[in-house]
């Protein structure tokens, strides 16, 4: 992931409140103690994913402008005071740090060497800690939008499982946003847009995401637009 990554889509998706709340409900059981969020962007995940079991949140962001936006949010109180910011990549995290949870929320697909990245990150996990990856699903849905925002790939549960480091085990693997999958398929086959409009994001968040919340359990979370895997470091 380049330090010059602009992330122009982050502001658009920061308003997807239903989606962020849905993701938070699915991931909160694994988020506790000392947390490292890799590729924290403008900090839009922090408020939703922060919970009372979190004691410290390190937001790691390679883009200096975005990292400063997070730092500004901490200073002015719009982000929690338990949050701190580090500008850089996983290589800049002090090797003596240990985290109870490490998050890659729509980030790993931006990193060319995803296997190497996962191995580096898990070395920072405390014994019993969890590493959580959420990313766009299904390589056949790779679109001009993926290319425009710097995605190297999309995932499925099998490809994510194959990245599991040898000192970790898979504790959860599931898909989210089954109805959103159909919208992504339409974009891939028909619209072929390189960037969604604000109106499209609003429709997805206000209409499609609530429908997916109803239907995802019926598919036992095996079908969707986003893939999630959770690894646990061997105690």
Q: Among 136, 174, 163, 164, which residue's Cα sits nearest to residue 152?
A: 136
Pair of tokens at residue 12? 């658009």
Condensed to tens digits (0 to 9), the pLDDT of residues 71-89 reads 999 999 999 999 999 999 9
Q: CB within 8 A of 219, min separation 6: which ones? A: 175, 178
How high is the pLDDT of residue 192?
58
Pair 13, 41: CB distance under 8 Å: no
Look at residue 49 in the predicted model and tell me its pLDDT.
97
Interatomic CA distance for residues 217 and 200, integer angstroms? 25
Q: What is the dihedral of CA 35, 19, 47, 96, to 10 degrees?
A: 10
Q: What are phi and psi of 206, to 5 degrees?
A: -85, -25
Least confident range from 34-38, 44-48, 192-196: namely 192-196
The residue ranking higher by pLDDT, 55 or 192, is 55
Check residue 235 and give its pLDDT.
76
The CB density around residue 123, as the number of other CB atoms within 10 Å, is 13
Of 15, 22, 7, 2, nearest to 210 by C-alpha is 22
9-40 residue pLDDT tens: 667 677 789 999 999 999 999 999 999 999 99
d(CA 50, CA 208): 25
The domains of the chain are located at 10-233
pLDDT tens track for 102-132: 999 999 999 999 999 999 999 999 999 999 9
Question: What pLDDT is attached to residue 143?
Answer: 83
Burial class (CB within 10 angstroms; exposed 0-12, middle 13-18, buried 19+) of 186: exposed
Mean pLDDT of 151-160: 96
Give the start-end residues of each E strand in 107-167: 125-136
CATH 3.40.50.300 fits 10-233, yes or no: no
């Amino acid at each position: 992931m380049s330090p010059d990554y602009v992330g122009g889509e982050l502001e658009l998706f920061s308003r997807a409140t239903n989606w962020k709340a849905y993701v938070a409900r699915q991931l909160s059981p694994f988020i506790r103690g000392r947390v490292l969020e890799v590729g924290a962007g403008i900090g839009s995940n922090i408020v939703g994913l922060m919970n009372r079991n979190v004691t410290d949140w390190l937001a790691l962001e390679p883009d200096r402008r975005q990292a400063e936006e997070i730092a500004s949010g901490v200073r002015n109180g719009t982000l929690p005071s338990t949050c701190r910011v580090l500008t850089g990549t996983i290589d800049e995290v002090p090797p003596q740090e240990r985290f109870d949870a490490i998050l890659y929320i729509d980030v790993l697909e931006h990193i060319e060497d995803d296997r190497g990245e996962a191995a580096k990150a898990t070395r920072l996990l405390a014994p019993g800690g969890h590493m959580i990856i959420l990313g766009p699903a299904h390589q056949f849905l790779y679109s001009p939008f993926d290319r425009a925002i710097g995605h190297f790939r999309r995932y499925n549960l099998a490809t994510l499982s194959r990245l599991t480091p040898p000192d970790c085990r898979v504790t959860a693997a599931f898909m989210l946003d089954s109805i959103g999958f159909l919208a992504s398929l339409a974009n891939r086959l028909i619209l072929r847009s390189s960037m969604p409009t604000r109106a499209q994001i609003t429709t997805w968040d206000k209409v499609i995401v609530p429908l997916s919340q109803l239907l995802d359990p019926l598919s036992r979370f095996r079908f969707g637009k986003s893939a999630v895997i959770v690894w646990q470091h061997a105690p």
